[in-house]
Amino acid sequence: MTEHEQFMQRAMALATQAMNEGNRPAGCVIVKDAKIVAEGRNLVHTELDPTAHGEIVAIRRAASNLGTVDLSGCTLYSSLEPCAMCCWAMIDARIPRLVLGCRHAQLERKDIGSYSVEALVAMTGRPLEIVTGVLAQECEALRRSWPGWRAFQGEGE
């Protein structure tokens, strides 16, 4: 098992926990020097906070744990491609690398249009290394196991 797969498995475990708590299945870990410095999972419904996406939760915790808002040198692992809010937070925190599991395009999401992390990054002109395909099928299967995923296909929950 590669290091990327190891950390993505942890992100998937957090996504499963989020789903079991009534949230969307999205999990994230932030790694620095091959050690997890923060974790996050989607908490939108349990915390009644529309900004409590897994990546935002993890970024907040990493900044607190490391005592800085500059997260240079960290890698963010996400079980699902980050939305525009989360992607911008990563860029603003200077996280240089994103490792993705499932992509919105894989899920054929109709609610997200033509969004991709690459498109947002290109608009900003800021650097972000993007590693794709890490446990992508497993992350996709996890997302599709969530009862609410069909709502994003225009089929209703």
- Contact between 90 and 82 under an 8 Å Cβ cutoff? The reply is yes
Q: List, in sequence order, every beta strand (DSSP E) within the chain.
A: 27-32, 35-41, 74-80, 97-102, 129-131
Annotated active-site residue 55? The verdict is yes
55, 81, 118, 129: which one is catalytic? 55
Phi/psi for 95 (5° steps) reads -70, 120
| DSSP tally for the chain: helices H, then strands E | 7, 5
How many angstroms separate the Cα of 140 from the Cα of each of 37, 52, 102, 136, 149? 25, 21, 5, 6, 11
3-class DSSP state for residue 89?
A: helix
Catalytic residues: 55
